[in-house]
Structure 1
Amino acid sequence: MVLKLYGYVHSTAAKLVAMVLYEKEIPFEYIEIDLSTKKNRSEAYLAIQPFGQVPCIDDDGFILYESRAIARYLEEKHPNQGTKLIPSDPKKRALFDQAASIEAFNFDCYGVPLFYEVFVNPRYGKEVNHEKAKELTATLGTKLDIYEQILAKQPYLSGDELTLADLYHLPVGNVLFMAGINVISERPNVARWYNNMASRPSWQKVKDGLGAA
């Protein structure tokens, strides 16, 4: 049975999973869960994703949610198919885990609330807290200054090879660009690293929205 991906057209987390599916050359069926009409709160969807969030996958009866858990599962189930995204060497694996933590605690935790503050909130009629946005932008910029130092010495966050830890940055990085926040493009090594990933066919297929899988 072909894998099913439940997502929402604009979900950054669902885009991450779809990108990994393309990288791993795994056929899948995309099922739209329209958050704007609260389809995610339906009894049927809550039966497989009790938090009512996207994405979620059904891999021949195996249900899994949370985008990073799904991405790692797909890589570990298909290690020799498509792009290898988690190294098997213990030291390289440790550096991957380190890079994944860097993304979670130095990028995502500032990038997501910043995007919501300046891009999502206005679309729902909420007033932008400009002071909060300024503080988040400054903090994220400080973190990316350290990225700039790391990426001056190596092409990817964990070394010479692309991993999931790098790809994790693409969906939120893209929406920051959409919101006119140029913290990535202002740093040449960070920009080179990001643009290299953003040019990948897998990302080009999903960056503007899901649904044409």
Structure 2
Amino acid sequence: MATFKLHGHPMSTCTRRAALIARERDIPYELVPIQFMAPELKQSAHLEFQPFGQMPYIVAQDDGFTLFESRAIGRYFATLGSGPELIPTEPKAHARFEQAASVEYSQFDPIAAVILFEKVVKPFCGATPNEELVGKLLPLLESKLDGFERILGKQKYLAGDGLTLADLFFIPHGSIIFEKLGYGNLEKRPNVQRWWKDISSRPSWQAVKDGA
């Protein structure tokens, strides 16, 4: 089993997304810390591996294979190591997985990422959050969670009755939205609440929730 160097900030949501999937699949990695807003992100040594000046990226220690984008890294890790099958191979189950992965990426993440930027990143950088924008996004977040409530009222996880990458992809931003910021009114959505308690209590997330 190859060991990977995971380049990213330990508290970055995307870095922790890659790290929790590595933990889920029992894949060894070494974190190479990068600071938020660090000048090195825009320098050629970093841009060679992450052309958009973001994080994380991985480097395999055995053959130098590199990969960036946390969801791509997660999909790659899901093919390695051991543990639960996170990407179903049966055609219909795989189609359901792709649907669930698309739902996480298109219906939840764009809203959560903006709220996170306004309420967490801006204060960290000494800037003032745009509360008006957040106020406009919260009803949209609620409407999206109603959709998740309908999905999870019919099945245990986003893609069916088995855990997949789609559920794991949700966790880093979900932890900030639901737990740190207290948004989402999960008490009004028992199926989302049940599902969130399940996935957020997994040992893989507990191992990286305070740092990859």
TM normalised by structure 1 equals 0.91
- Partners of 1:149 and 1:132 in 2: CA distance: 27
8 Å contact kept, 2:6–2:31: yes
After superposition, where does 1:127-166 map in structure 2 within 5 Å? Answer: 127-166=128-167
- Partners of 1:185 and 1:45 in 2: CA distance: 43
8 Å contact kept, 1:119–1:179: no
Is it true that 1:62 corresponds to 2:42 in the alignment?
A: no
Deviation at 1:36, TM superposition (A): 4.3
SS in structure 2 of the partner of residue 5 of structure 1: strand
Deviation at 1:185, TM superposition (A): 4.7
Q: 1:202 — aligned with what?
A: 204
After superposition, where does 1:29-178 map in structure 2 within 5 Å? Answer: 29-59=30-60, 60-78=63-81, 81-176=82-177, 177-178=179-180
After superposition, where does 1:174-193 map in structure 2 within 5 Å? Answer: 174-176=175-177, 177-193=179-195
- Partners of 2:30 and 2:129 in 1: CA distance: 37
Deviation at 1:180, TM superposition (A): 2.9
Residues 6-27 of structure 1: per-residue CA shift (max 9 Å, x gap): 1112110110100000111111
Structure 2 segments unaligned to the other structure (5+ residues): none
Deviation at 1:153, TM superposition (A): 1.4
Letter in 2 for 1:135: K
**Which is worse superposed, 117-126 or 96-105?**
117-126
TM normalised by structure 2 equals 0.92
- Partners of 1:166 and 1:91 in 2: CA distance: 18
SS in structure 2 of the partner of residue 119 of structure 1: helix
SS in structure 1 of the partner of residue 79 of structure 2: helix
8 Å contact kept, 2:141–2:184: no
Identical columns (%):
44
- Partners of 2:129 and 2:27 in 1: CA distance: 40
SS in structure 2 of the partner of residue 168 of structure 1: helix
Aligned-residue CA RMSD in angstroms? 1.6
Aligned length: 208
8 Å contact kept, 1:6–1:56: yes
Deviation at 1:77, TM superposition (A): 4.0
- Partners of 2:123 and 2:51 in 1: CA distance: 28
8 Å contact kept, 2:145–2:184: no
8 Å contact kept, 1:6–1:54: yes
Deviation at 1:50, TM superposition (A): 2.0
8 Å contact kept, 1:137–1:183: no
Letter in 1 for 2:137: L
- Partners of 1:162 and 1:169 in 2: CA distance: 12
Deviation at 1:125, TM superposition (A): 2.9
Q: 1:137 to 1:153 in 2, by over 3 A?
A: same
Q: 1:158 to 1:90 in 2, by over 3 A?
A: same
**Which is worse superposed, 52-61 or 155-164?**
52-61
